[in-house]
Amino acid sequence: MSSPLLVGKNIVKNFIDAQRSVDILHGVNINVHAGETLAILGASGSGKSTLLHILGTLDSPCSGDVLFKGESLLSLSKKQQASFRNTQLGFVYQFHHLLPEFNATENVAMPKLIAGVAKKEAYAGAHELLERVGLSHRLNHKPHQMSGGERQRVAIARAMINKPSIIMADEPTGNLDNDASDDILKLINDINKADNTCFIIVTHDHGLANKMDRTLTLVNGNFMNEGDVGK
């Protein structure tokens, strides 16, 4: 098998709570390969969102490292990490995190505009992606004018706009009904197959996890199925 695209090495994370140390992650190791869909399961408070944030350079571990194509991400400056996130990663959250004052086109185009792409080009890319996710009729609608499933589709289109290697999703169906959840799952699988985009999905939904290529389960700060980590 080819070398992993993303590697987490011996990741340790703890917090200070009421003057005591609360251990969250205990030397977690994880290998993620290009083009795979990976679910990280775990109960509430198991550290799965914390791990996702560390892998995405949104948070720092107390010790350990995160490598992308063999290069340490934690050795980069904050500015370099921000540039890496904008070009190589896409993020999708349970509550979409769309900017309420902007319409669907503007929300999807935002990462390109931040990267300095001309407005006309950024908007053209946004329109193409919104059509792809089935929202060509919602180009000028603001988040409050769309359903929960539609807002999540906009969030996925925004995550795709810079053609990232990896999309990291934190409970992407957690706030949706069954039909909308099924639609989002189908969309994720379609994107994965068409673009070879890797998905790392944090969830407590075993049904969703079972439809991914691989599942790892966090229990007591480490993966229960440790043998799968190095695949």
* pLDDT at position 4: 92
Query: Quick check: 70 pLDDT over 70?
Result: yes
Residue 11, domain member (yes or no)? yes
**Cα distances (Å, whole numbers) of residue 217 to 9, 42, 127, 140, 159:** 17, 6, 37, 40, 25
What does the mean pLDDT of the chain come to?
A: 88
Domain range for residue 64?
6-99+147-228
Mean pLDDT computed over 208-226: 85
Does residue 111 carry a pLDDT above 90? Answer: no
Reported pTM = 0.88
Within a domain: residue 50?
Answer: yes
Q: Read off the pLDDT band of 225 (50, 70, 90).
A: low
Gap between the Cα atoms of 200 and 35, Å rounded? 10
Q: Average pLDDT, stretch 213-225? A: 87
Digit-coded pLDDT (tens) for 18-43: 677 778 899 999 999 999 999 999 88
Residue 63 has pLDDT above 70, yes or no: yes
Considering the domain boundaries, does residue 175 fall inside one? Answer: yes
Amino acid 87: pLDDT? 86
Of the pLDDT bands very low, low, confident and very high (cuts 50, 70, 90), residue 230 is very low
The C-alpha atoms of residue 151 and residue 168 are separated, in whole angstroms, by 17
In a domain, 142, yes or no: no
pLDDT digits (tens, 9 = 90+) for 172-187: 877 777 887 888 888 8
The CATH number given to whatever domain includes residue 199 is: 3.40.50.300
Domains in the chain, number: 1
As given in the structure block, the two tokens for residue 202 are 């944090």
Between CA 122 and CA 86 the distance in angstroms is 14
What is the pLDDT, as a whole number, of residue 148?
84
**What percent of the chain stands above pLDDT 70?**
94
Among 157, 168, 102, CA closest to 130: 157
Asked if residue 185 is part of any domain, the answer here is yes
User: Is 12 a domain residue?
Assistant: yes
